[in-house]
Amino acid sequence: MFKFICKTLHNSRSVAGDSHAHTLCLIQPFSSSLEPIKGSPNQHSFTVTYLINSCGFSPEKALSASKYLKFETPDKPDSVLAFFKRHGFTKTQISTVVRTFPPVLLSDPDKTLLPKLEFLKSKGFSSTDIAGIVSASANLLKRSLEKVIIPSFNFFNNLLQSEEKTLAAIKRSDALLLFDHQAHVTRNVEILQEAGVSNANIMFSLTNEPRAFMTSSDRFGQVVKDVETMGFSPLSINFVLAVQFLRGMSKSTWEKKIEIYKKWGWSEEEILGAFKMRPWCMMASDDKIMGVMDFLVNKMGLDASFVARRPKLISLSLEKRIVPRSAVYQVLLSKGLIKSDGISLATVLEPPEKWFLEKILNRHKDEAPEILKLYKEKLDHAK
């Protein structure tokens, strides 16, 4: 089974690579589309000084940008900076936008920038949302509103049948507005439908991880086939989660996580079983996996195979959830207020905060008043 898993990830490795390369081709840095301005760096000293003092550039970045950007008075760049400030951009966000796309300083704010911001606002984005989207993807400012941004928004809005979901998808991946996705996304949605995935789960995936659909349909289809072969049910939400994760993970990363779990005694069958039950267990960082396993096995005495059967534990916060609740559990166990064969540690760790407060802390605070202070101390330490 493990060899098969590796093979499927080997096949999907190129999917992630393809997506990354595809994005790089479409979202190019400003210097790739501009010709260097002739002249020595000294001739652009005003530009360099302005970029350093007003935009937060490093001297090296300012000098590099000045090869493609030249102005001799502060009037136009000042008007651009003022424009962003009026529209709710923070100083840091403005600096980020200008560093990502320096030629924006030569824009006519009312003619080229304002229409794009107004369009986003008309669709329901708040000023804070817009500032966040633009600062995260300043290339949006050099895309055509009529030819790229509006058609892209309309495409996803028609697909998701909800402006609310469209807004959520764009917030998660602002690249949705940067280029035409129709060719790949439409076919990739069809591939999931043909595999028996419900429309609700497809829309969930498209809303929460739209980048998963931005790859060639041949490779996306191969990942879907791999997930089917692993035994995932197309009726389960875990099916689309597995597609998302396998598409975005390289073979070497997957193999490294496999080896980490093997070090804790998990068999290949247990690893696949945990992945099918809780796909997030393979998305946790190496340090997170090691930290949680070390604490649960070596400090709390749980059997490694028990954790394999409860893979949700891997995705819980070690500092904010596992350690504080475990400390309370140990006190109650030592006082005989709970029994390990009645309430397991996993039962205490997995439920939401409201359940833990009502069923554990508040229920036993009179018999063990120290647990309230202990729990707060552990949470404060995590912060």
**DSSP per-residue codes, 285-321:** -HHHHHHHHIIIIIIS---HHHHHH-THHHHS-IIII
Assess contact for 246 and 223: CB atoms under 8 A: yes
Neighbouring C-alpha atoms within 13 Å toward the C-beta of 237: 10
89: nearest Cα among 140, 141, 138, 135: 135
Amino acid in position 106: L
User: For residue 13, what pLDDT is reported?
Assistant: 36
Query: Average pLDDT in the 185-208 region?
Result: 94
Please give the tally of structural domains in the chain: 3
Is 32 a domain residue?
no
Same domain for 275 and 173, yes or no, is: no
Kindly report whether the global pTM for this prediction surpasses the value 0.85: no
Same domain for 307 and 268, yes or no, is: yes
Ramachandran area for residue 297 (φ above 0: left; ψ -120 to 50: alpha; else beta): alpha
Q: What token pair was written down for 191?
A: 């591939």
Residue 326 has a CB neighbour count (10 Å cut-off) of: 19
Q: What are the counts of helices (DSSP H) followed by strands (DSSP E) for the chain? A: 23, 0
Same domain for 200 and 114, yes or no, is: no
d(CA 61, CA 164): 39
User: For residue 44, what pLDDT is reported?
Assistant: 56
Query: Of 109, 142, 175, at which residue does a domain stop?
Result: 142
- The mean-pLDDT minimum among 100-109, 259-268, 335-344 falls in 335-344
Query: Average pLDDT in the 239-267 region?
Result: 93
Query: Of 248, 278, 300, at which residue does a domain stop?
Result: 248
Same domain for 199 and 229, yes or no, is: yes
Integer distance in angstroms from the first to the last C-alpha of the chain? 41
Alpha-carbon distances, residue 381 vs 104, 255, 301, 305, 318 (angstroms): 44, 34, 23, 30, 12
14-23 residue pLDDT tens: 333 343 333 3
Query: Average pLDDT in the 206-224 region?
Result: 90
Assess contact for 50 and 71: CB atoms under 8 A: yes
Same domain for 61 and 148, yes or no, is: no
Query: Of 142, 173, 203, at which residue does a domain stop?
Result: 142
What residues make up the domain containing 233? 143-248
Is 84 a domain residue?
yes
73-129 residue pLDDT tens: 999 999 999 999 999 999 999 999 998 899 999 999 999 999 999 999 999 999 999
Residue 123 has a CB neighbour count (10 Å cut-off) of: 16
